[in-house]
Amino acid sequence: MLHFLSLTIENFGPFKGLQRIDFPSNGGVTIIWGNNGLGKTTLLNVFRYALFGKVHGRGSKTHSLKQIANWESYDEGVYGFKIDLTMNNDGDVLELTRQYSVRPGVAKPESDNDYIESVFLKNGTTILSNEKRDHVLNSIMPEQVSRFFLFDGELLQEYEDLLVDENSISEKIKEAIERILGVPVLTNGLVDVIKAEKDYGQSYSKVAQKNQATQQFGNMLGAKQAEQKNHEDELATLKTTLEDLQKERQSLEEEMQQTTKVRDWLKEKKIKEDIIEKKKETLEVKLNAVKELTKRAWQGKLSQRISDALVQLEAEINVYEDKKSKHLISLQLMDELKTGCRTGTCPVCGIKMDSAGLFVMKDKIASCEIGFEGLKAEEKGKLDELQGRRAQLKKLTSEELKVKIVMLESVIDDIRVEICDAEQRVNDLAKNIRESGINTSKAGAVSQKHAKCLQKIEATKDGITNEQGILNKVAAEIKNIEDKLKPSATGNAELIKAQKKLELCKKIKHVFERGVKLYRENLKQKVEKDASKIFVSISNQQEYTGLQINENYGLAIVHQTKRIVEIRSAGYEHIVALSLIGALHKNAPLQGPIIMDSPFGRLDPDHKRKITGVLPKLADQVLLLVYCGEIDEQEARKVLGSDLKNEYKLVLQTAFHTKIEKG
C-alpha cells in the first residue's frame, strides 16, 4: 500500500521558495484550507507533476511547464522548480524528485526549450535506473488510473458520461476503471494466448502440407489462416484509425467551442451584408421613382386653373349622368308597370286591378317614355369626352403628386436608417472578429471538418463491423477445415502432436475468455454493492435504496419502487461519483492515498457532513483541499475526530506568493 510521507515544493505555482507538508505515517485525513486563487488546485498539480511529469489546466488540458514556475522567483532571477515526494510503499521508502531547471548556457529562460527536466527515484539509499524507476512508478500509481487518486471535483461530469454508451470519454474512464480493478491481467493474458493459438495453428497447417494425404487440407488451412491474418491486420488498422478519428473529433469539438462565437459572428455578418445589398437596390428604385415624380413638379404652378376646370367639368358631367340615371330608373319602373298591365295585378300591392286602374297604369307608362328619355348618341359622345378630359386633368393635379412624393420620401428615410443600422452592426461584428485573434477561414472550416470527421467515424465503424463479420466467417471456415483434417491425421505422429497442441491452446483460450467475462461480472457486482452501501450512508433521500451498475461502470440511482432515477441533480452527481470512487478503492489491487480538490461542489451542509464522515473509509490516507466555508471547520473536526491527523492553511502573501502554514 502506498502512503505519502512528505511533500517539498520549491517555486512551483504560487508556492515561492521552499515549502513543506508532512503527512502522518499512520494514514488518516489531512485537510488543507485555502480560499480561491491561493493554490489548492495547484497542489493537486504538484502531485500530478511529481508522479507523471504533467500539469493540468482547467478542464484537464495539459499546461506548458514554463508557465508553472513561480513568477516572483522568476523576476528575482530564480528559475525553474522542484518537487520532492517521499512515500512508503509496502515498507520501501521511496523518494521521488522531479526538477525543471535551466539548460546549461541559458542566462534567462524564455520558453520550454530553455529548460531540462530531471527525475530521480531513490529506494532507501539507492538511486534507481531510469527503467526501474519507470517500472516502480507505473506499478504504484499508473497514470491511467490517476483520476481515482487525484480527484478533481470540477471533472465530475465525466462520471455522468459513464451512463451514456459510445462516448470517447466514457470509454477512457471505463478502461481506467478496469485497469484499477486488475482486469487487464486477464485481457492481456487472453491476447497472448490467442497469439500462441495462431502460432500453433500455423504450425499445424505447415505439418499438414508436408504430407500428401493431408496436403490439400493443409493448403486450404494455410490459405484461410493467411486470409484471417490479413483481415485481423485490417481490423487493427481500422481500430487505430477510429481511435485517431475520435481524438480528432474531440480536438475539433474543443476548437468549435472556442470558435463558436466567431462563427456566429461571421454568419450574422453575412446575413447583414446581404440585407444591406437588397436594401440598397430597393433604395435605388425608390429614388428613381421620386426623380420621375419631381420632373412633373411644374404642374404645381397650374394647380388652381386645373381645379377650376375640373369643377366646371364635374358640373357638366353631372347633368348628363343625372339624365342617364333617371332614364335607367324609369326603364325599371316601366318594366314593373308593363308586367302589371299584362297580369292585371298592381305591381306595388299585388291586388287585381279593374279597367280604370289599368288605364291609369298605361297612361303612366306613356308619360315615362316621354319624360325620361335616355341620352342621345351625341350626348353619349359628349359625356365620354368630358369624362376623358376629367381623367387627364386629375393626373395633372399636384395634390396627388405631392402625397406620392411625401410617401416615397418617408420610405426612403426608413430604408436609409435600416442600412445605416445594418452597416454599424457589420462594423461591430468585423471588430469583434478581428479582436478575437481567431483565423476566420479556419473558424469557418472547422465545422465542415467536424462533419467530415463524423462521416469518417461512421464509415470506419461500418468497416470494423464488416471486418468482424468476415473474421467470424473465416474462423468458422477454419474450424470446418480443421474438423475435416482431424480424421486424416491417423498414423501421422507429427500431425497428431500439432493437433493436440492446438487443441490445448484453444482450451486455455476458452478458460481466459470465460474468465474475463466472469471476473468482470463479479467485479461489477462487488462495485455495485459497495458503491450502494456508501451511497445509502451518504444520501439523505430515504427512498433511494441503492445504485445499479451498467456495462460502462456507470451508476444509476434506484428508487424503492425499483424505478431508476433517470435525471439527477448536480449534488447527487457528486454523491454517486464519490460512491464509485470509494467502491473502486475498496476493490482495487492498487491501494494508495486519495487527494480531493473541492469535492463538495453543490452539496448541502448535511451531505457535506456525511461525506466528511465517510472519507477515512475511502482510503487509508486522504488529503482534502477545501476553501474556508466549503465545509464547516468545527463540524469537520468533530465528525472526523481522531481520523483528522493534520491541518494546513494556504496564506496569501502576494498575488503570486502563497505560504503553506501548519494548523
Partner 1 sequence: MEVMKKMTMNNNLEELLKTLETIRNDEYPELPKDLLEKLLKVEYDNQDNRVDAQTKAVKLIDEYFTTLVDRA
Give 86's strand partners: 6, 95
Per CB under 8 A, 390 contacts partner 1? no
The footprint of partner 1 on residues 429-448 (CB under 8 A) is none
CA distances (Å), origin 142, targets 23, 177, 179, 401: 22, 12, 9, 89
Q: Figure out which of the listed residues 117, 192, 373, 414 binds partner 1, where binding follows CB under 8 A.
A: 192
**Residue of 590, 603, 611, 626 interacting with partner 1 (CB under 8 A):** 590
Q: Which of 20, 103, 195, 434 binds partner 1 (CB under 8 A)?
A: 195
Contact pick of 617, 647, 649, 659 for partner 1 (by CB under 8 A): 617
Chosen residue from 95, 178, 528, 530 binding partner 1 by CB under 8 A: 530
With H, G, I as helix, E, B as strand and everything else as coil, classify residue 347. Answer: coil
For residue 552, report the phi and psi dihedrals to the nearest 5 degrees.
Answer: -90, 10
Q: Is position 182 an interface residue for partner 1 (rule: CB under 8 A)?
A: yes
Nearer to partner 1, 195 or 431 (CB): 195
Minimum distance from residue 454 beta carbon to partner 1 (Å): 32
**What mask of x and - would describe binding to partner 1 in positions 98 to 137, judged by CB under 8 A?**
------------------------------------xx--
Binding of residue 591 to partner 1 (CB under 8 A)? yes
581 binds partner 1 (CB under 8 A): no
How many C-beta neighbours within 10 Å does residue 116 have? 13
Any residues with CB less than 8 A from the CB of 484 and at least 6 apart, and which?
A: 217
Among 589, 629, 642, 663, indicate the residue that binds partner 1 (CB under 8 A).
589
Smaller CB distance to partner 1: residue 389 or 497? 497
**Residues 400-429 close enough to bind partner 1 by CB under 8 A:** none
Residue 602 sits in the site that holds partner 1 (CB under 8 A): no
Give all strands (DSSP E) within 609-662, no chain letters.
621-626, 644-654, 657-662
What b/e sequence results for 144-161 when a residue is b if at least 16 CB atoms lie within 10 Å of its CB, and e otherwise? bbbbbbbbbbebbebbbb
Does residue 529 bind partner 1 (CB under 8 A)? no
Minimum CB distance to partner 1, residue 620 (Å):
8
Total number of residues shown for the chain: 663
Q: Which helix (H) or strand (E) holds 662?
A: strand 657-662
Q: Which member of 271, 360, 504, 628 binds partner 1 (CB under 8 A)?
A: 504
Q: Which of 31, 121, 150, 186 binds partner 1 (CB under 8 A)?
A: 186
The three three-digit cell numbers of residue 661, written as one number: 502554514
Is 184 one of the binding residues for partner 1 (CB under 8 A)?
yes
614 touches partner 1 (CB under 8 A): yes
- Residue 229 as a binder of partner 1 (CB under 8 A): the answer is no
Query: Of these, 511, 564, 570, 655, which contacts partner 1 (CB under 8 A)?
Result: 511
Total of residues contacting partner 1 (CB under 8 A): 46
Closest CA to 416 of 290, 307, 270, 228: 290
CB atoms within 10 A of CB 440: 17
Q: How far is the CB of 144 from partner 1 (least distance, A)?
A: 11
Cβ contact 119:85 at 8 Å: no
Asked if residue 116 lies in contact with residue 98, where contact means CB atoms within 8 angstroms, the answer is: no
142 contributes a contact to partner 1 by CB under 8 A: yes
Span of 26-34, 213-221, 419-427, 497-505 interacting with partner 1 by CB under 8 A: 497-505
| Set of cell numbers at residue 627 | 476553501
Cα separation values, 280 from 286, 291, 422, 424, Å: 10, 16, 11, 15
Which of 127, 185, 366, 420 lies at the binding interface for partner 1 (CB under 8 A)? Answer: 185
Could you tell me the three cell numbers for 406?
A: 411625401
Nearest to 235 by CA among 512, 469, 475, 509: 469
Question: Is residue 501 involved in binding partner 1 (CB under 8 A)?
Answer: yes
Among 558, 537, 540, 543, CA closest to 614: 537
Q: Does 330 bind partner 1 (CB under 8 A)?
A: no
Grid coordinates of 154: 470540477
Q: Is residue 52 within the footprint of partner 1 (CB under 8 A)? A: no
Q: How far is the CB of 549 from partner 1 (least distance, A)?
A: 17
Closest CA to 190 of 479, 198, 140: 198
Based on the shown chain and the rule CB under 8 A, indicate whether residue 528 belongs to the binding site for partner 1: no
Task: Report the sign of the C-alpha dihedral through residues 622, 624, 630, 631, in that order.
Answer: positive
Report, in Å, the least distance between residue 508 CB and partner 1. 6
- Contact stretch for partner 1 (CB under 8 A) within 145-153, 305-313, 392-400, 499-507: 499-507
- Please give the backbone phi and psi of residue 354, each rounded to the nearest 5 degrees, phi first: -90, -175
At a CB cut-off of 8 Å and minimum separation 6, what does 85 contact? 4, 6, 7, 8, 47, 50, 51, 95, 96, 97
Q: By CB neighbour count within 10 A (0-12 exposed, 13-18 middle, 19+ buried), where does 650 fall?
A: buried
Alpha helices in 211-302 (DSSP H): 215-295
Nearer to partner 1, 115 or 149 (CB): 149
Can you name the residues that pair with 3 across neighbouring β-strands? Answer: 88
CB of 197 within 8 A of CB of 478? Answer: no
Give the single-character DSSP code of 163.
G
Contacts of 456 (CB under 8 A, 6+ apart): 245
As measured in angstroms, the least distance from the Cβ of 495 to partner 1 is 12
Scanning 49-57, 215-223, 338-346, 586-594 for contacts with partner 1 by CB under 8 A, the matching segment is 586-594
- Residue of the chain from 270, 510, 602, 637 that contacts partner 1 (CB under 8 A): 510
Q: Is 486 in the site for partner 1 (CB under 8 A)?
A: no
Of the ranges 150-158, 187-195, 415-423, 453-461, which one interacts with partner 1 (CB under 8 A)? 187-195
CB of 142 to partner 1, least distance (A): 8
Could you tell me the three cell numbers for 391?
381623367
- Identify the residue among 92, 117, 165, 199 touching partner 1 (CB under 8 A): 199
User: By the criterion CB under 8 A, which residues form the site for partner 1?
Assistant: 1, 134-135, 138-139, 142, 182, 184-186, 188-189, 191-193, 195-196, 199, 497, 500-501, 504-505, 507-508, 510-512, 514-515, 518-519, 522, 530, 533, 537, 585-591, 614, 617, 620
